[in-house]
Amino acid sequence: MRAARCIAILFLSMLAVKTPVRADLFDTYGFDAQGLAMAGARSASVDNLSALYYNPAGLAKVDDHAVGLSYLYTDADLNVDGATTPLPDSSDLRGGTAIISLGLDINRLIRIDRPATFAFGLSMKDDGTMVQLEDLEETEFSYVKYGSALARSVIYMGLGVEAIEGLLSIGLGAHAMIGGEVAATMTMDAEDLSTTQEVIPTEQNFWMKMEMKLYPIAGVMLTPTEDLSLGFTYRDGIKVELDPFLADIALTLGSHAAHIKAYTAILSFMQPSSQAGAAYRLGGLTIEGDVNYECWSEFELSVPREMRRNAPEFDDVLSYRLGLEYRKDNMKFWAGYQYAPSVLPDDMNGAHFLDADRHIIGLGIGTARTDRWKLLPRPLELSLAVQDQYLPKKSFRSGDDAYSLKGNVLCGMASFRLPF
């Protein structure tokens, strides 16, 4: 019985609600329909509220107050071959996200004699989920950039100011995962405990508190000529710790009762990234090329997971983006392509993460419509975009296991913007 209890204590002390790797929803897809259509090539030409993510310096180009609303829907068809343990719920690969943004023209509030806009944005799953935590063993599969990895609410805020008229704009901002207190249930499944005694699984309810901390974003936008603009953005990574929480698990081993205290910590990680781009205008056509650097090598394991050390060395990656915009009258047409290599090595060192190289193609259209009933103060800007992400087959080794991932991810977005 003592051996059984020691094994149970060890099992629970290693248990954690695991959220080790989190991609950014806006980097996987886009902040608005134009960003989705242009495959994220926006750091040098962004001039709307999506500058909150792509480059806060672009907020200086936003005229008047404005409110924005976008809705993103994704449907992934991803195939894992060679899986010997359960795969993530396929329902997590389908669903919608709402993105709300608000911009305030500083000069309409306080006269500063130079273009300046403050903006705020919030993303939220359409089912109301604020953050989704997973209780996974290393032998179970989890996606790095899809599904529950993106199931969380994130806020962005930023200020863009034209520092030198017609030449230089600068922007500062921050992003954070929404925090707060949450009720959780820890369930113990004692199937694998080494004991001949009857074991009754049990569960324990407890509270976790997640602190919301702001992480900086900074950007600059340089316009050396009327037709050429350059942009650079740095987004700091987000690290969210729920550390510690204490659960008192009561269970029955045969005719004996035991109380086991599980003391653990959780670490959720979103990678730092930098993006640089150049945009050139030829009449109504704008061509932009961007390079995005993601620093995944700073990934850390949660404390209990670190004891097992079952994690690969994530790779830092460069993604390459090309975007086109064509304007004619009050119509806008967009297209884009991005190549984003996988952050995962071939040798997974006992873990079972899922990711692959991505070839991304986007198309979109936008227009502005005047309200015929004169109910709206300004023309309403409408835009629609679709995107296909093709993931060619990528193979992995994990201990004695071999598996592979391939598939497609289709997504669409509708965006509305109303100046006022």
Question: What pLDDT band is residue 92 in, cutting at 50, 70 and 90?
Answer: confident
Q: For residue range 348-390, list pLDDT tens digits in order.
A: 888 888 999 999 999 999 999 987 887 888 899 999 999 999 9
The better pLDDT of the pair 114, 269 is held by 114
For the residues of 267-299, what is the DSSP string, one character each?
EEEE--EEEEEEEEEETTEEEEEEEEEE-GGG-
Report whether pLDDT(9) > 70.
no
Both structure tokens of 203: 């569960």
For each of the domains in the chain, give its residue range(s) and CATH number, in order of start: 2-419 (2.40.160.60)
Q: For residue range 33-89, list pLDDT tens digits in order.
A: 999 999 999 999 999 999 999 999 999 999 899 999 999 999 999 999 998 877 888
DSSP H/E element including 308: helix 303-308
pLDDT score at 291: 98
What integer best gives the mean pLDDT of the chain?
A: 83
Minimum mean pLDDT range among 6-10, 161-165, 231-235: 6-10
Both structure tokens of 249: 């698990």
pLDDT score at 306: 46
Question: Nearest to residue 53, comparing CAs of 154, 164, 198?
Answer: 154
Region 115-143 average pLDDT:
80
Region 261-278 average pLDDT:
72
Q: What angle do CA 252, 257, 260 make, to 5 degrees?
A: 90
DSSP H/E element including 390: strand 380-398
pLDDT score at 131: 66
pLDDT score at 174: 97
The better pLDDT of the pair 120, 201 is held by 120
- Give dist(CA 32, CA 39) in Å, integer: 11
pLDDT score at 206: 56
Instruction: State the pTM of this model.
Output: 0.84
Residue with tokens 């004891």: 307
Rg of the chain, C-alpha, whole Å: 24
Count Cβ atoms within 10 A of the Cβ of residue 376 and give its class: 0-12 exposed, 13-18 middle, 19 or more buried.
middle
First to last CA, the chain: 71
Phi, psi of 8 (to 5 degrees): -65, -40
